[in-house]
Amino acid sequence: MDNFTYEYYETIFKEALAHEYQIITLKEFFLDEYDKDKKVLVNRIDVDFKIARLRRFYQIFKKLGIRASIYVRLHAPDYNLLAIGNIKIMQDLISIGCEVALHTELEDVEHYCQLEKQNLLKREIAFFETIFETKLYGTASHGDMTPNNNLDFWKTNKASDFGLLYEAYDDKLWKNCRYVSDSEWTRWKAYENGELLKDDRRTPIGHMQEGCRVLHTLTHPESWYDGYIYE
């Protein structure tokens, strides 16, 4: 049975360490700041909902001495990134070496609110860097049940034009990894170098056991809990 408890979440990363994976951020991946002769796990987290659950991820990462790239929304309907408690969560994550960055919704906000998206992104980056006192290296596009695909922004824009190193779906990573995601909430899905692995519902540990060299995990706090998803 699929297991989305915090206990199992910790087990995934313990197993990665036991299988001698380097656990790195996307920034480190795009800067080639890791040993390419060893296996690597690129650890991405998108915070769509339930930002408070990041506290549990923080405790696990601190205990294991590992880090992640964490993408947060400025336009989330159910959390306020600027709530003082949430700023502290982000500071705690930064303090253990996590990369924090923007989970962007540029197409959605332009289509619905008619805001000019290039200018908006520039201002969002400056704002984010001010609040969190950290440089922003990249963004990850948020996918939602809207008619727009937020990734479309990057068809006509370059990360470097915004002082960024990467967009999380850039080919350098997306076309060169095994991507394993919990984005269907109750089951895993996987892509190999950008192609869907049909009906592959293995957990990240299953992919580690196969000896996958570049494992890219995407997890969401809202998918994980102690005993019940809406606890």
182 lines the binding site for Zn ion (CB under 5 A): no
Part of the chain binding Zn ion (CB under 5 A), chosen from 11-19, 46-54, 117-125, 193-201: 46-54
Part of the chain binding Zn ion (CB under 5 A), chosen from 21-29, 142-150, 168-176, 221-229: 142-150
Q: Of the candidates 28, 48, 99, 107, which one interacts with Zn ion according to CB under 5 A?
A: 48
As measured in angstroms, the least distance from the Cβ of 77 to Zn ion is: 12
For residues 73 and 117, which CB has a smaller minimum distance to Zn ion in the complex?
73
For residues 146 and 193, which CB has a smaller minimum distance to Zn ion in the complex?
146
Residue 219 bridge partners (DSSP): 45
Part of the chain binding Zn ion (CB under 5 A), chosen from 38-46, 104-112, 159-167, 169-177: 38-46
50 lines the binding site for Zn ion (CB under 5 A): no
Q: For Zn ion, how many residues bind (rule: CB under 5 A)?
A: 3
142 lines the binding site for Zn ion (CB under 5 A): yes
For residues 34 and 174, which CB has a smaller minimum distance to Zn ion in the complex?
174
Mention every residue, 6+ apart, whose C-beta is less than 8 A from residue 76: 47, 48, 49, 51
Part of the chain binding Zn ion (CB under 5 A), chosen from 39-47, 58-66, 75-83, 172-180: 39-47
As measured in angstroms, the least distance from the Cβ of 78 to Zn ion is: 12
Part of the chain binding Zn ion (CB under 5 A), chosen from 24-32, 40-48, 49-57, 211-219: 40-48
> What's the 3-state SS for the chain?
CCCCEHHHHHHHHHHHHHCCCEEECHHHHHCCCCCCCCCEEEEEEEECCCHHHHHHHHHHHHHHCCCCEEEECCCCCCCCCCCHHHHHHHHHHHHCCCEEEEEECHHHHHHHHCCCHHHHHHHHHHHHHHHHCCCCCEEEECCCCCCCCHHHHHHCCCHHHHCCCEECCCHHHHCCCEEEECCCCCCCEEEECCEECCCCCCCHHHHHHCCCCEEEEEECHHHCECCCCCC
For residues 63 and 187, which CB has a smaller minimum distance to Zn ion in the complex?
187
Mention every residue, 6+ apart, whose C-beta is less than 8 A from residue 195: none
For residues 11 and 183, which CB has a smaller minimum distance to Zn ion in the complex?
183
46 lines the binding site for Zn ion (CB under 5 A): yes
What residue ranges bind Zn ion (CB under 5 A)?
A: 46, 48, 142
